[in-house]
A and B are shown apart, each in its own frame.
Chain A
Amino acid sequence: MKHGRYPFILSFLALPVGLYAWLVILPFAQAFQISLTDWSGSSNSFEYIGFDNYVNLFKDERLVLPALRHTGIILVVLPVVTIALGLFFAFMLNLGGRVRRGRIEGVRGARFHKVVYFFPQVLSVAIIGILWKQVYAPENFGGLITGALTSVGLPAPVNGFLADKRMVLAAVIAVLVWSAVGFYLVFFSSAMASIPRDLYEAAIIDGAGRGPMFFRITLPLLWDSVQTAWIYLSIVALDVFVLIYMMTPERGGPDAASEVVGGVIWKYAFNHGEQAFASALGVVLFFAALSLAVVSLRFGRRERIEF
């Protein structure tokens, strides 16, 4: 297979890599260049100001610092909760059912659940935003959760969840989890399906319960998938923005309580007329994401190139 190897490789890579470099890499390089200027975004003049934008980023206590904090919280909470729920659901749907003739099964209605859980994945963020805004609304404006809480005698925030500084971020994260869990349920289910059934059946004969079964067999064998999920979810976490834009008061409020990095970039670029400053923040976000991914990939993956 040595013959014509490199021409082949080249012919297959030229177009995708070329297109990618031209339309993705190059624009990003320009964004980096912009971040070194004072460009407003609506003018054709600017000057270079070195790394001032980067220095000023970390002095901005109104938007940037809260946004970094909130993005950090999402970066931790979203993957943990989503993966935990995804694993739990996947385990239940695939292995949580009765044991029949020595074979272990998923709970009843597993197929139905899989279809339903995945559904939010196909909704556009715009639709999800419209939907949950109503779910979180104040009680007297038709809020589903506030209404439910009050009807069972529990306290509910009078202005709804999204107008409450203490609740808004948690409310946003809940929606993110809601829309992501289905994907990871299917993702982990698929991985679990590839674990030989004999392992479980042997465990059942040994009298192992579901809990030990999960922690001794499923989780270790799923570790690669969990890591992949972690990376995907980290990317989602860093990218959270459109949902907040659609859902929260003042697109990141109230009073910056749900401001995230993506939203601040947007605000500076298009509402403040400070494209260069926004670009600097974008570059920081990019490198943060990149190092996160590299670290996970480096430590988490076996190299497996064949031929």
Chain B
Amino acid sequence: MRYSYYPGCSLHGSAVDYQMSIQACCNALKIMLDEIDDWNCCGATAAASEDHRLATLLAARTLAKCSEAPYPIAVSCNACYSRLNQVNAKMARYPEIREEVTAVLAESGLMLVDDYRVKHLLEIFCEDMGLDRLKEQVSQPLINLKVIPYYGCQMVRPRAYDHPEQPTSLDNILTTIGAQVLPFHKKTKCCGAALISTNEPVALKLVQKILDEASQRGADVIAVSCPLCQMNLDAFQDKVNSLFGTAYKLPVVYFTQLVGLSLGISVKKLGLDRGIVPAMPVLRTYL
């Protein structure tokens, strides 16, 4: 299995632990990731909010960088996944937009092909590699670890390969590595996303609701697949606690960090010591 890999900006910055665990897992699972040469930011929600032309162009440039590679595009961040997928679909739907973008890219020596296959890592793990193969590689099953599978929004909406409100891919991966997956009503409820910077009280309330259900269900950890979800749920827990008078202390880890642990990869290589709420106290038994 080989892919053109789009890490996205966060994975080279605040989500470096996600990147480390992806690299470690994919090496162990023989998934080859060729980082796209000179990729640029997907624009996230910011570009689309200000200027739809800018938003389309940003994602299209990165897609165009993959035109010559015969592999699908692997994406790790939910927002990047959503942007690349949506712009891919948009260019198919609006020929005039496609024409406009094609002309702009051509002046920079880039060209678009008809359609790109954009896949999130969750899909790659479940569908391309298959959970049976993952199971064969598990050397340290995470027995009795109570995990909340939190997908967030843009992994599943507006369109993705999993169900928009009742997805199961992350649940299945976590079950495969031996963890006890807890039922979770808010698995695709919004974490507040950029509102954490633009309207903190509104975002904190959304974060609080997610932490509340997770803690009531007796979670040891929350597993995520998106750097922004991770940041909001992890780094803002102390603010939630002081605002709502709660005492949540729930580690929020990337699913690849848990997969890595089950494959016997070291804590350091997985960046598991980098969360704001420390994950090691609950994970120590699995080392």
Do A and B share a complex?
no
Interface residue ranges, A against B (CB under 8 Å):
none
B residues at A contact (CB < 8 Å): none
